[in-house]
Amino acid sequence: MEEKEKLTDNTENEKKEKPKSFMQTVREINAADKRAELEEEARAAQERAERAEKRRRSYEDKLRQERIELMKLKQGVISEEEIEKPEKEVRTYTAAEKISNFFYHNKWHLIIGALAAALVIFLVYDFATKERPDVQAMYIAPDYDMSYYSGELTPLWSKYCPDVNGDGEPLARLYYVPTGYSDETAASVYFAQGDRTKLIGEFQSGNTVMIIGSKEAYQSIGALEDVFVDCRTIFPDDPYAEEIGYRLAGTDFMDMLGAENVDDTELYVSFRIPGDTMGMKKEKMQVNYDNAVTFWTNFLAEHRIDGLDLPPTADIKPLPVPEDNYDYMDSADKTE
């Protein structure tokens, strides 16, 4: 009997001394944290309520005092000067609050100022990095291969260019702006319109004086008359100089460029007559003209081929009159 009681006591002690499981410990910790959180929230709520009650009482006291003073003022017991005016509380702002307040009240001024500064920086950067050729020319004959070769030409013939802008780097740039395309696809018409717009812009600017093209290309833009200087006045003793321009076939231009597949038989190097344009005065265009002639003279000194018997270029046929130019008045007269 005694042994049985001892076994029962040992079992009860083991149950009492059995350690807590992990999950039980976690639950107890969570419960304790939850109690602490609830107690903290209750404490904060009580403090807020006390502050609200304090503000309410203060406001009620203020209203009560103002009513009393107003009644005394109406009864003539006190004058308006005797009423105590509460001093305004001067709030002291921290450095962070001052900065935040400044940005808040001046945000539009700051945004506009930032945009203006960005624009100025862009313009200065664009001016400082923009390529400024000393001499620039346009190739307007519709030779597709020249769209590639025109970019390759710059390092080859820039050495013949005078350093006009004084940046220490002579630069002659050739732009390929064809006057037309042989096919009539929608893409060709689209590109032709874009090239014509670019061509008009270059002619209006006055920066480009030197033009490379054929009679046909010149005819398509109405440049056969009163546009180019008589090249025979520039190079009077040169057989390659004709009225409309200098025969490109009299030089090794295409060989130097590696464009042997481009036929230069019909091509001329022409120089525009200086005059006032939309973007430039005649005096400035005259300077560009003189620089272009100097450049081409330097080029001919090394690349002109003597003794060539060049065949004459093909005659130009008059352009057909568009149907839009049909004179309805003449037609009406004939009908009558």
pLDDT tens sequence across 171-198: 888 888 887 655 555 555 556 676 777 7
Q: How far apart are CA 92 and CA 13, in angstroms?
A: 67
Q: What tens digit of pLDDT does each residue of 148-172 get? A: 777 778 788 888 988 887 777 888 8
Between 252 and 196, the more confident residue is 252
Residue 241 has pLDDT above 60, yes or no: yes
Residue 335 pLDDT greater than 60, yes or no: no
Query: What CA–CA distances, in Å, run from 115 to 99, 100, 109?
Result: 21, 20, 10
Question: The whole model's pTM is what?
Answer: 0.58
DSSP secondary structure string, 55-69? HHHHHHHHHHHHHHH
pLDDT of residue 146: 79
Flag the least confident range among 24-38, 197-211, 313-327. Answer: 313-327
Which SS3 state, helix, strand or coil, does residue 8 take? helix
> What would the mean pLDDT of 207-230 be, rounded to a whole number?
88
* Cα dihedral across residues 103, 108, 113, 118: positive or negative: positive
* Number of DSSP helices (H) and strands (E) in the chain, helices first: 11, 5
Q: How confident is the model at residue 18 (pLDDT cuts 50, 70, 90)?
A: low
Mean pLDDT across 83-101: 70
Copy the structure tokens of residue 166.
């004084």
β-strand 172-176 against 135-139: which pairing, if any? parallel
How far apart are alpha carbons 209 and 288 in whole angstroms?
Answer: 7
Cβ neighbours of residue 325 closer than 8 Å, sequence gap 6 or more: none
Dist CA 174 CA 208 (whole Å) = 10
Q: Give the whole-angstrom CA distance, residue 135 versus residue 65.
A: 89
- Please tell me the predicted confidence (pLDDT) of residue 10: 54
The 10s digit of each residue's pLDDT in 35-62 is 888 888 888 888 888 888 888 888 888 8
Q: Which residue has the higher pLDDT, 201 or 264?
A: 264
